[in-house]
A and B are shown apart, each in its own frame.
Chain A
Amino acid sequence: MKRSNGQALPKARKNDLVTRQIPGELLVYDLKRHRAYCLNDAAAAVWKSCDGKLTVSELAAKLESDQKSPVDEKIVWLALDQLEKFCLLQTKATKPLGLPPISRRSLVRAGIATAIALPIVTMIAVPTAQAAGTPVTQAVCQGRHQSDLGGCGITSPCSDVPTTKCINGPGNTCKCG
């Protein structure tokens, strides 16, 4: 979505996502990439408001009225940066020229993060079924699981140490030997 001045407006991605709202957080699962995200309230509010019609200033104003506390545009940009990085935007917003990189630390230092919690998006990669189970034997690794992405053929703790295999080390940890 674009304004007449050519400015792209952020639009949340909706396809191939499963969402689940829990108190204070929004869980999002990306069915294409098999990544799961946890958006805190601030990040979720920005994401939900990205309808492709609002500019960043309008988004900030909307959040301000929703949350009844001042919201700096930089907070919206911080959320949009993360949402874009994790492929949760269908259309990303055009950044104004000269806008410096925004980090959580810089916002805290500038005192912007006092009124509203900073937007945080946390991501995990969801494993294959095989990777989520214990490879009880070396034979399992050599069997059908080996070729699976994230299977023990790839994630074996000793796979990057040639000619070694995983043996039991101190505290039941893996030791390459």
Chain B
Amino acid sequence: MAELTYLQAISDGLRTEMRRDKRVFLIGEDVGVYGGAFKVSLGFQEEFGPWRVIDAPLAETAIMGACTGASMMGLRPVAEMQFADFVSCAWDHLVTVAAKQRWRAGTPVPIVLRLPSGGGFSGGPFHSQNPESSFAHIPGLKCVCPATPEDAKGLLISAIEDPNPVLYFEHKHLYRRIKGEVPEERYTVPIGKARTHREGSDLTVITWGAMVYTADEAAQQLDGDGVSVEVVDLRSIMPWDKAAVLESVRKTSKALVLHEDNRTGGFGAEIAATIAEEAFEDLDAPVRRIAAPDTPVPFSPPLEKAFIPQVDDVVAGLRELAEY
């Protein structure tokens, strides 16, 4: 197995599918000659040509609408939003057309939308957001948020194979920071299955994306206190692995839900409510949530640090929960 960065694993997954299936094509702003703003598709246009690696005008509505139309004609489009934030310009096509077409008109829309998301490097209010919960709310869309290079490749291949619109949230802060073993061959990671990132017996943290690493660091500190923390990496937000979450919570009896998105209406609220509804008798403490406050993502480093949940915040939350 090769050691790849998270970003290289995404490229590897996309290249694997484009070599295997000529119906797969990539469209987005600057994805061709430039190789994408983050260089995920560097060298792709040379290999696959300008009609499979398509530089689009700065027009997210056209990109998403065109993907919908092309998918209905039997192709397997993968679109890149330059930043996840710009998906707001494609909202109508995702939510109004793509999400509802199978249910009301019987025609599936197998598309993948790659969304470089997340903050941590002073991207400010328009280059840092984590809009997954908005889309998880829309029936007909699937949302995945890989945290490891292995999952980044396997979930991308699953997303391309899937007969539905899949939003693939790739966390920018993990792109070059996180490395891991990635199988060279083609494999899939099932959409809707969580992964136990760290086993533990006293507390459960349920999280996804870059927060998996924040949770893990916090868990290491709690380990020093003699408290054993389990970290569940959800990997998929819609559908989400309710069974795995409930199983872990039943084992530990205490749950903390952690995400980088804003608190109110964030997907953590859905998880907390589900635990309360279905595992109330197993709980020894109220479910706790740690999330970003309800503000836009700030630019300046001290403000951004105050916005994105930090290891210390999670450590404090876990200690409170352990002592409850």
Do chains A and B stick together as partners?
A: no
